[in-house]
Chain A
Amino acid sequence: MTGIRELVKPDRVHRSVYLDESIFEMEMERIYGRAWIYVGHASQVPEPGDFLTTRIGRQPVVLSRHEDGEIYVLFNRCGHRGAVVCNEAHGNARHFRCCYHGWTFHLNGLIKAVPLQAGYSRDVDFDDPSLGMVRVPRTDTHRGFVFASLAPDGPTLAEYLGPMTRKIDDICDRSPAGEVEVTGGVHRYEFPGNWKAQMENLNDLYHVPHSHESTTSGGRQFRRTGTATGSRLTRKDGSPISFWDRTGVWAFDGGHSYCGRMPDAGPVSREEHPDYVAALEARLGPERAAEVLDADWHNAIIYPNLGLQSMAQHIRVIRPISVDRTEVLVYPMKLRDAPDVLNRTVIRYLNVTHAAASLIQTDDLEAFGRLQRGLPADGSEWVFLGRGLGAEQPLEDDFGYRSEGTHELPLRNQYREWLSYMGEGAN
């Protein structure tokens, strides 16, 4: 293989980053093994004993709430001989019990009981955490968003998130209680392509009028309306292609970025929901309330596995499976103490845009699959990401750059970060 550093040029990347299994293995180790990875939300495990299972990269982990009320992220691996302990997507348990020889563990991972313990030498220390379900090296949360890092050292979560912290805050602050609840189910789907295709797509406004033509043709885009009982999605004229450029993209250190708000995004109106708007203003002040209601961003990317959307507010989690197969999970965020109609509208809209049978996301997945099938073709070994190169403008009040909406700045920004993870110690 060519040296890792040779794979990323200022305006292009080598196709092997999407195709080569050994590069995928290295990504799991060097990116997913080091970065802060979004694991889940505290509202998914509200009570002591609650747990859910997921993966960091390809490693099985459990997010649990111990009897002390604290949240733990544990490797889902028995301290005895290594079997997966929690076999369900989520649940509530007094303790975790391994199916193989019956070792049991507290929800903080420490051993609770070992059958026939007398058969072990007295030297064996069953309080040793390494014989339990081991905690991942670092765990931290921001407003209920639980992140974990498999690296013992590195930037703190706050340093890592940087300006993206504000994006999480924008959504949480739409709740009169300042909290979101991830209790609206999940859209779960896969695509036959590389995980980076999904991360790149989240801030790719160049594709929208073309990929989604069958649903948005004639410059039309879905518009959600505030009805809880009908799945009425009216359409709104406007948004010619030039619109997407005016929308803008912003890119930051860490591979993070976001794009500007969509043409059909509009704030919740004071006329329709006066009590709700008043509650937000009381909590945040009128200025911040207006800011969060009419967020100036659409999709925010927290590299490498998390996307947030402000319009139909949801969390998107990317779980790589192999170099050419990826799982995606889309969770609506409910605003605690907000009118039901607002939360239900989001859920209804997400069915249209992000279900496995959606009218929108399926277009993107088709494109990701076609990338995976097209790239092995010879002719060029390079993937061109040069749109808008050199046009990015440094931001005045933040470390970062802005460019026109259809520019590929966010993609180049991801590869800059990719290289800094992958290139470390490489030639």
Chain B
Amino acid sequence: MAVAESIRDRASTPLSSEAAADFLFMEARLLDERRFEEWRELFTDDGYYWVPARPDQPNPLDEVSIFYDDKDLMETRIKRLRHPRVHAQIPHTRTAHLVTNVLLEPDVPPEAEALVSSKLLVATYRQDQQDVYAGDCRHALRREGGLWRIVWKKVVLINCDAMLKSLFIPF
């Protein structure tokens, strides 16, 4: 929890845009460094990670999504990524998450204390194949035990309704 702890001091009222950006950068680093278990720990117990399958998808319940993980499913997903015979990830995908255009949004949802918007560019590489994904990202954050945690994270890829290649690492 080193990363989350390093921003413990910043978990003071209100969240500054600088602290929000740091939080997002460090989250991105956890994913790029394949510290998936620590990434999962950033979420509240009722937290979820959602990547809709079309741009204006109203909710994750009535239509399918590219990712819609609660913490249980995150755990299963991470265990699979760690499995010695996860054939589709041998060799595994390397990623570089680039986070930019970080803004604090005024319309904070009731379940959160801050809503952060950002733009995301993720380059992925596996077996001589490099791909780039881009999208709009929203983090709903809440303080718990002196730490900022993710209540939900929603990533709307610009090509979310395209014919996609297999995906493995969260955006």
Interface residues, chain A, CB within 8 Å of chain B?
Answer: 89, 183-191, 211, 213-215, 217, 228, 230-233, 327, 330, 332, 343-344, 347-348, 350-352, 354-357, 359, 361-363, 365-367
Contacts and interface: CB of A to CB of B under 8 A. Distances in A.
Contact of A189 (B54, B65, B72, B163): B163
A355 B66 contact: yes
A333 to B, nearest CB: 12
14 contacts: A184-B63, A188-B53, A189-B166, A190-B165, A231-B70, A232-B70, A233-B76, A344-B62, A357-B67, A357-B168, A362-B166, A363-B88, A366-B87, A367-B87
Given A184-B64, A186-B53, A357 B167 contact: yes
A230 B86 CA distance: 25
Contacts of B86: 214
Given A184-B63, A355-B67, A359-B80, 19 more contacts: A186-B64, A187-B53, A188-B161, A188-B164, A190-B164, A214-B80, A214-B87, A217-B85, A231-B72, A231-B73, A233-B76, A330-B64, A347-B63, A354-B64, A355-B66, A356-B165, A357-B67, A359-B76, A361-B166
B87 A363 contact: yes
Nearest to A352: B73
Interface in B42-75: 48, 51, 53-54, 57, 61-70, 72-73
B2 interface: no
A232 to B, nearest CB: 6
Contacts of A332: 64
Interface centre among B73, B76, B163 (most CB of A within 10 A): B163
A18 to B, nearest CB: 19
A339 B165 CA distance: 33
B64 A187 contact: yes
A345 to B, nearest CB: 10
B10 interface: no
Nearest to B72: A232
Nearest to A344: B61
Interface residues of B, number: 33
Nearest to A356: B164
A365 B166 contact: yes
Nearest to B67: A357
Interface in B20-55: 48, 51, 53-54
A89 B67 CA distance: 22
A210 to B, nearest CB: 9
Contacts of A188: 53, 161-164
Contacts of A367: 87
A230 B66 contact: no
A257 to B, nearest CB: 25
Interface in B68-100: 68-70, 72-73, 76-77, 80, 83, 85-88
> Which 9 A/B pairs are nearest by Cβ-Cβ distance?
A185-B63, A214-B83, A366-B88, A356-B164, A214-B86, A357-B167, A362-B166, A185-B64, A231-B73
Contacts of A189: 163-166
B83 A356 contact: no
B166 to A, nearest CB: 4
Contacts of B63: 183-185, 347
Contacts of B164: 188-190, 356
A217 B86 CA distance: 10
A58 to B, nearest CB: 14
Given A231-B68, A231-B69, A352-B73, A211 B87 contact: yes
Contacts of B167: 355-357, 362
Contacts of A233: 72-73, 76
Contacts of A230: 70, 72
Nearest to B65: A351
Contacts of B85: 213-214, 217
Contacts of A348: 61, 68
Interface centre among B48, B72, B86, B166 (most CB of A within 10 A): B166
Interface centre among B51, B53, B87 (most CB of A within 10 A): B87
B151 to A, nearest CB: 15
Contacts of B72: 230-233
B74 to A, nearest CB: 9
Contact of A356 (B61, B70, B166): B166
A365 B88 contact: yes
Contacts of B163: 188-190, 327
Contacts of A361: 166
Contacts of B166: 189, 191, 356-357, 361-362, 365-366
B79 to A, nearest CB: 8
A366 B66 CA distance: 18
A214 B168 CA distance: 13
Interface string B139-171: 000000000000000000000011111111000
B92 to A, nearest CB: 12
A385 to B, nearest CB: 21
A85 B35 CA distance: 49
Contacts of B67: 351, 355, 357
A347 B53 CA distance: 12
Contacts of A365: 88, 166
Contacts of B53: 185-188, 355
A421 to B, nearest CB: 26
